[in-house]
Amino acid sequence: MNLPSFLWLWKIAAWSMGLSLLAYLVLAFTGVWMFRARTSQTPFLGGNKEVRSLHYIMGISMVGLVLLLLAVGIVGTLGHFGSLGHSSHLIAGLIVVALVLLSAFSATQISARRPWARPLHISINIILFGGFAWVSLTGWIVVQKYLP
C-alpha cells in the first residue's frame, strides 16, 4: 500500500508518542511531589490526594497510549511492509511496552505490606527514561524512510 493511505495512522502514532512523553513527564513530576510530601517534616504544597489522583490518571493514560502505539505500529508496519522486524524499533517498542506494563503492575502493589514495590516502581521508571529515548531515536530513523 502507498503511504498516503497510512498518513492518518502515522498522525495517530505521532500524537500518541508526544502525549506519552508528556504523561511520563507529568508522572515524574507528580511522583517526586508525592515523595517529597511523604518524606517532608513540614506540609508540602497542595493536597497529596489530588496529586495522587493525577498520578493515577496519568499512569492509566500512559498505559493506554503505549498500547495504542503498539497497535498502530503493528498495523502500520504490516500494512506497509507486509511483515514486522524491519528495524530495531520493534525491539525498542516492545521493551517500552513491557516496562510500562511492569511499572503499572508494580504501582498496584505499592503498600506498607510490600516494601519492595515502591523501589521497583521507581527503578522501572528510571529505566523507562532510557527506553523512551531509544524508541524515540529508532522511531525517528523509521520516519526518515517515509520522508521524500
pLDDT tens, residue by residue, 110-140: 999 999 999 999 999 999 999 999 999 999 8
pLDDT grade for 89, boundaries at 50, 70 and 90: very high
Asked if residue 30 lies in contact with residue 58, where contact means CB atoms within 8 angstroms, the answer is: yes
Angle at 88 (CA atoms; ends 103, 124), nearest 5 degrees: 15
Report how many domains make up the chain.
1
Residue-wise over 6-27: b if at least 16 C-beta within 10 A, else e? beebbebbeebbebbeebbebb
Q: How far is CA 142 from the centre of its chain?
A: 19
Residue 39 corresponds to which cell in the numbers above? 518524606
Per-residue pLDDT reduced to its tens digit, 98-107:
999 999 999 9
For residue 85, give its domain range: 3-144
d(CA 66, CA 93): 9
pLDDT at 50: 84
Place of cell 503498600: 111
pLDDT at 6: 66
Per-residue pLDDT reduced to its tens digit, 9-67:
878 988 999 999 999 999 999 999 888 888 876 665 656 788 889 999 999 999 999 99
Position 3 pLDDT exceeds 60: no
